[in-house]
Structure 1
């Protein structure tokens, strides 16, 4: 006779049903986040300012680095981010109920980039293109969801064609949407092929793919004398309200994670022993609660780094922080990101460019953690080298796609990983062979 399972407390049952279970995060977490961001917007700005700023964001060219704080204001940017997240969460929920690490990371990333480059106008056609692709090949669209969300990295190409070519809107917008749909249609098979290029050591694989596609599109536009050079916008005023909001939000993630992990009691030490090589889904392999704790810890560490080097938490920096948070569910943890950030920082001290506290330098440090699996696999010294190489390469590589690929660090990380991983693999194999021969003797 089977023994009855102990009855769950109402709070535990509610949490498991509506927030997370052991191996999945509920979409409700992201619905709540979207609403929270929108409510915060109305605490810092008036409805009129938000409304006017929101439409400025919609018609912005949105290429790297276009800080929506500068374009539309803080309140309008938070509204844009909240709306983009709410729509993206609904879109994902149409095809899947629970969220694992990769999809959660994608939603946090799309939230982050809604602070500097993504909006509903320029992301919709790319998502639609991936839906058409799924129907064309006869696959369930849930297999392309991850690519669909990350592919919105090329959203600025839609805005660029729509609003920066002096074309009539009745002509420019359909053309831009056609290009966006085409991007969404082709990016899934192209991304699968490019994954082999860096062997999974670059976490932002779609960023590398988007960089190649963006390079081809911009080269074509330049060949036909289309305008592709856009002035970037930066916001440099610190906001105590924004800083406090994100500190509290990361603490909220840690609190939710602790509550979700208290019965599972998954070990944080075991999580930090992961290499992070794609595909490392911490939600599935450890627990949803522990993965959220890791995400919140990485968020606080990222903010701490920004404050330490004298940076300002503006739109792009928030994008970097939220992306690190998201990939705390999908490949990153303190042990494999710290050497990379250290490598970027040390290199920037000797470079004749911006200081480590500038927005561009901060983005290199935060997004440079895309190559964290190198540190996780080959050790801290390898991570330092990867961070150093990333810092030097990322400041120049954006020229080839003119900023239409928002995941410029993912593009850079692909080249860094593809260059260093085979070298470190060879050295690791040689060391193992030497140890084997020594043991035999």
Structure 2
């Protein structure tokens, strides 16, 4: 038994919690360094102040708000602080935690900042105290739940509400939403059965819709925002290429057999929970993260899209969830489905909302992984329409708009596919 365990350990090198957090921290530091290189030092602090004071409603590209340097410094610092909280909480680091922290990094370029995330996190912390449970057990929910961080910014910086009222109202609303997220997320997961990887996007969409509906009934309607930068594809594409090559090289350094083990990842459906770090090891997972991120970047460039804060946020969502459900084989059908949708519907594949739908829509990757590539294309095609329709419900205050739409798509489509395939199965229970 011991010899077998030794062989397995040799075949699948592992890293400690600190080692895994160190990888995330290294990527975050590279964001900060990049930000300091591309913008004059004197522009960084004023840019960060502008970012902190932004309303953050979808879509607010921090590169357009505070400048490229400030946007990347905000994202890097926010992720470093978040990783520090994970360490202080003693949280177990696995694929889900890596996905969560990579989302913090990506959305640090549009929507999340060092000011607006704390009410949501505080609300989840209060929930853990109320339930007498360790905060570490809910820490992913807390940081994923920062999808609703713009609610705090919108209330605080709205011209319709004075600061003396907006601050306590925003804090109370954020704390309440955070308190609601853990039980709501656990319940709503059952609706899509793990076929949408962004369960918190679905949950935040539901909670955000309720909150916005209440505020609208009192006459407070969020004003739409659209800040979208262009013209930086070469610079940002070069930076992302270096990062993705670095992730692949890091995976090979940790485990020389990582490329060969990619076939084990590609064989997985990705249906949540699907922790690639635990199932296959950190080496192949890092390689998968680099390859999956590169696919997202190449898609954007091929369709003529823009690399900017929101798009890089979407790409890093793919990178993060490449540790927890996504891989090249199950994301490509979803992206193809969204692209086909752009040919058959009155919009272009390079339109901002459609580019984001193709990237974020890969949350539906488990449908392709579990039921086949053709159903993945169908899911992507349907999602391309759903993602355009649901934003009005939460007023752009749920950063994971595509996660909300995909949760609805998966909740309807997965049972339908299962029912169709049941007709072909001798023992339908084996298909579940």
* TM-score with structure 1 setting the length: 0.92
1:23 is displaced (CA, Å) by 9.1
1:267 aligns to 2:270 (yes or no): no
Aligned pair count reads 421
2:152 alignment partner, one of 111, 135, 158 = 158
1:434 is displaced (CA, Å) by 9.5
2:418 alignment partner, one of 407, 416, 425 = 425
Contact map agreement 2:63 2:229 (CA 8 A) in 1? yes
CA distance in 2, matches of 1:136, 1:23: 27
1:313 aligns to 2:307 (yes or no): yes
Runs of 4 or more consecutive aligned structure 1 residues displaced over 6 Å after TM superposition: 263-266
1:167 aligns to 2:138 (yes or no): no
Match of 2:290 in 1: 296
Contact map agreement 2:258 2:287 (CA 8 A) in 1? no
2:112 alignment partner, one of 100, 114, 118 = 118
Match of 1:395 in 2: 388
CA distance in 2, matches of 1:306, 1:214: 29
Q: 1:64 to 1:219 in 2, by over 3 A?
A: same
1:266 is displaced (CA, Å) by 6.3
1:361 is displaced (CA, Å) by 1.0
CA distance in 1, matches of 2:372, 2:301: 27
CA distance in 2, matches of 1:267, 1:47: 43
1:198 aligns to 2:195 (yes or no): no
Structure 2 unmatched runs, 5+:
none
2:98 alignment partner, one of 96, 99, 104 = 104
1:237 is displaced (CA, Å) by 1.9
Structure 1 unmatched runs, 5+:
7-11, 436-441
Q: 1:206 to 1:434 in 2, by over 3 A?
A: closer
1:36 is displaced (CA, Å) by 1.5
CA distance in 2, matches of 1:279, 1:254: 24
Contact map agreement 2:91 2:136 (CA 8 A) in 1? no
1:137 is displaced (CA, Å) by 0.2
1:229 is displaced (CA, Å) by 2.0
1:169 is displaced (CA, Å) by 2.1
Match of 1:331 in 2: 325
* TM-score with structure 2 setting the length: 0.93
Match of 1:439 in 2: none
What's the Cα RMSD here? 2.1
Pairwise mapping of residues 247-286 of structure 1 onto structure 2 (< 5 A)?
247-262=241-256, 267-286=261-280
Match of 1:408 in 2: 401
1:260 is displaced (CA, Å) by 1.4
